[in-house]
Amino acid sequence: MKRIFYIVLIVSVLASCGRKEEFTAYAAGDGCSVETFCKGEKGKITSQSHRLARGQTFTVCPEKAIRQDGFKYLPARIGKERFYIEESSVAATVEECVREKEIFVQTAASLIDDTLSSHICDFAKKGRKLEVTGFDKILQNGTVRRYKIKRGESGAWIFGKYTVLTEEEAALRYGEFDEAHKAVKNSFKGGEAIGCEFRPYQKPVFADNPMPNPVNAFYLTINPAGLKNIDAYIALADSTKINAFVIDIKDNECPGYKAEAMEKYSPTNYKWAGANKEKLYKEAIDKLHERGYYVIGRITCFKDSYYAKDHPGSSICEKATGQPFLHNKSYWPSAYSRDVWQFNVELAKESVRKFGLNEVNFDYVRFPDKMISIDDQMDYRNRYGESKVQAIQNFVRYACDELHSLGVYVSIDVFGESANPGYTTAYGQYWPAISTIADAICAMPYPDHFADHYYGISKPWNHPYEILKAWGKRVQGRQAVTASPAIVRTWIQAYHVMRWVDPHGIDNNSNFLEREIRGLYDSGLTGGYCTWLASGNIAVYRSQIDAYKLDYPSLPPIDSLNTFINPAN
């Protein structure tokens, strides 16, 4: 009996000693994956196609290493899978996994010195070399989420996806559509299209925040009457194909609730925001979510007289006077100014956290329009020497990065004109540069905004189907030269044709709206629509209800020869 006991004890000790030879390690290197090896003929170590993602864990046994050609290979395993790994590719901790000491910027990106507040401390242009001092997280595919880089005493952060390991790689462009963008003219001083980046952008899909397809949305203002009456809007939407709501968070001189971001960055917006609105927003959005509606918060960015009043040094000014420039009765914070970016993105992030928004819609993501003749008289606060189209694309990239980290989508509003081929717009919106990054691009091709005979259509405001179908075909051309195109979700005209356009223009009735939406669908734009009605008046929506009940994807194309709508008397 005693003999059996000692035999068991010896076996146990030996087994224990064997286990002590192994320990858990991490795949390490200066790239996103690590090479593995196997024993080939005559016990010789040979490379194999299987690679480990950097940061992946495995069990390694150093005592049974094989030395060959000056290298040391350690036997390792993951579950039942066995392989060898070169000693220099093994790290004892996650912190030791990232070995690169310098990186190069391939896609121009913002440098953040405070990831909690999204504060931009610098801007890294394409080709810039950065010294690595740390990182925040290794992603599942072995890439680094954000690198910490050397800058001053505290350092800064840049997303790893915008960097590469060599200067040669950084100089490379994504060339599939470059020729198309090189041919685009800079006729109106918006900037060279080819100065933007058109590399494919990985669009996120958030499993716990699915985006409807399509999104059909009612627009609501910050008016308390609308927020308090949310039950009526829900009852109306329940009887239609509406599945989403766009609700203003901040419009020019119309801030919604007293947000902490306003108090910190724009006291004037904070002053004029509704004192008791936060509770109204919370109650209304909670009810929408309970009924299964997708909720989008709308924020105007670079048309904000209150922010300009608080920060004249970040606003577009006249060179002659040094004073903020009044354009169309409003002052404009410059789209080049990073503090303006931060304010709007921080407001968006705060609203997401407080109300559970599914998406943030940024409007007025542009410079002022109709400035060509006086453009040289303006000080745009262009610190980094960007063109207008570059600044707008760089803002969209920054906003998407910050909001995607919260699991929400980003849509960007653009003028319908930005779908025109051949030139960049004077106000900095170049469709492919925005579409390649944003989750949804929301244009505003309102029929009464088109000039008479545009696309050869007489009085396009009386031909909503034809004008939007023709415009939609232009959009398809812009999407075709975009590496990772956004969903196209269009703002439709839900208001009466403006009297200064045509005092006898057709009414904003359901027939008009139906023709608009069918024009979009018949051009191939199936991402849905948002209703632009500045008042958000529920009585108007009720009068248009027949248009909102239709299931447009299932409808056959309209005969375009029979779509004229007689003007209202």
Domain boundaries, given as residue ranges, for the chain: 19-96, 102-172, 213-556
User: Is-contact 543 507, C-beta < 8 A?
Assistant: no
Per-residue model confidence (pLDDT) at position 386: 98
pLDDT at 393: 98
Are 25 and 58 within 8 A, CB to CB?
A: yes
Q: Among residues 290, 292, 438, which one has the least CA distance to residue 363?
A: 438
Give the separation between CA 126 and CA 143, rounded to whole angstroms: 19
Q: Say what the pLDDT of residue 7 is.
A: 35
Quick one: pLDDT at residue 559?
67
Domains 19-96 and 102-172 share a fold: yes
Domain boundaries 19-96, corresponding CATH code: 2.30.30
**Residue 502, phi then psi, degrees to nearest 5:** -160, 110
| Single-letter amino acid, residue 368 | P
Fold of 213-556: TIM Barrel (3.20.20)
102-172 is a CATH 2.30.30 domain: yes
Contact 365, 442 (CB under 8 A): no
C-alpha to C-alpha distances, 99 to 96, 364, 389, 417, nearest whole angstrom: 7, 42, 36, 47
The predicted structure's pLDDT at residue 6:
35
Distance CA 109, CA 50 (A): 33
Residue 329 is encoded by which pair of tokens? 């009765």
Q: Parallel, antiparallel, or unpaired for β 109-114 and 119-124? A: antiparallel
Per-residue pLDDT of the chain in tens (569 residues, 90 and over written 9): 444 433 333 333 334 444 457 899 999 999 999 999 999 888 899 998 889 999 999 999 999 999 999 999 999 999 999 999 999 999 999 999 999 999 999 999 999 999 999 999 999 999 999 999 999 999 999 999 999 999 999 999 999 999 999 999 999 998 889 999 999 999 999 999 999 999 999 999 999 999 999 999 999 999 988 999 999 999 999 999 999 999 999 999 999 999 999 999 999 999 999 999 999 999 999 999 999 999 999 999 999 999 999 999 999 999 999 999 999 999 999 999 999 999 999 999 999 999 999 999 999 999 999 999 999 999 999 999 999 999 999 999 999 999 999 999 999 999 999 999 999 999 999 999 999 999 999 999 999 999 999 999 999 999 999 999 999 999 999 999 999 999 999 999 999 999 999 999 999 999 999 999 999 999 999 999 999 999 999 999 999 999 999 999 999 988 644 444 443 32
